[in-house]
Amino acid sequence: MPFRVHALFFSAILSLALSLGATTASAGHAHLVLDVETGQVLSAENAEELNYPASLTKMMTLYLTFEALHQGRLSWEDKLVMSENAESKEPYKFAIGVGRSITVREAVMGMIVLSTNDAAVAVAETLAGSEEAFGHMMTAKARALGMENTVFTNPAGLPDPNQVTTAADMARLGVALMRDYPEEFKLFSTRTFVFRGMKFRGHNGVLSAYPGADGIKTGYTKASGYNLVTSASNGERRLVGVVLGGESAGQRDQEMMALMDRYLGPANSQ
């Protein structure tokens, strides 16, 4: 199959990239603000430095899920069975039990609103057979999207010193999501999610606090610090912002909103 050859080709690249990622990731602070229409970088700090993506990784898992939906390899109501491996992924998960299933729609909404790790793994195992194989798919797609410094090894963003990215690459992925899957991108503005009778509220503070924000994803591990990719518009201009390595969720959110205010205008956050 053409993809298998493609994936094998990338395995050689990954071997080098993994070794580089393991030794050069700084997990320091970085940010980038990009004008979506023009592609102009408006502000950047350490934007090409390697950092850990944490759950920002799920942006790529979702990109590949949307791709599979458009290609007919998945449908929204397909059932994804939870393996023992998927069920083991703490801390955020549906926790429905090994052998039980969720729909693709539930998996997508769970990843967007709740950052459910078991859902990400269930998608990965369905599309690629294993997390490792899906990591190769993710990295291959990253290269195709121009994300030259990103290596993915698992679909959820759980700690792995070999899984690295940059603020610039995360901005590219945010733009790719809205450009390639505009209808599905609208789901990133969802603040609450009802799963089998239980209502859950997301933890994207900027999405709730900043007028014009309509996504995209938060992330945190001890190694990465507090990460965030945000899309926001004032009706005339649309930006994608990335903050990596925040000291706290609150500090990260305030930094992002200040960056957005700088280029969208303070009145946008009133």
Contact (CB, 8 A) for 61 and 184: no
| Burial group, residue 143, by CB count within 10 angstroms (0-12, 13-18, 19+) | middle
Q: What are phi and psi of 126, to 5 degrees?
A: -70, -45
Which residue of the set 55, 224, 231, 269 is catalytic?
55
The yes-or-no answer on residue 115 being catalytic is yes
List 195's β-bridge partners, or say none.
198
The yes-or-no answer on residue 58 being catalytic is yes
What is the Cα–Cα distance from 246 to 243, expressed in whole angstroms? 7
List 225's β-bridge partners, or say none.
221
Which residue of the set 89, 93, 115, 141 is catalytic?
115
Which residue of the set 58, 93, 141, 217 is catalytic?
58
DSSP 109-159: HIIIII--HHHHHHHHHHHHSSHHHHHHHHHHHHHHTT-TT-B---SS---
The yes-or-no answer on residue 208 being catalytic is no
Active site amino acids: 55, 58, 115
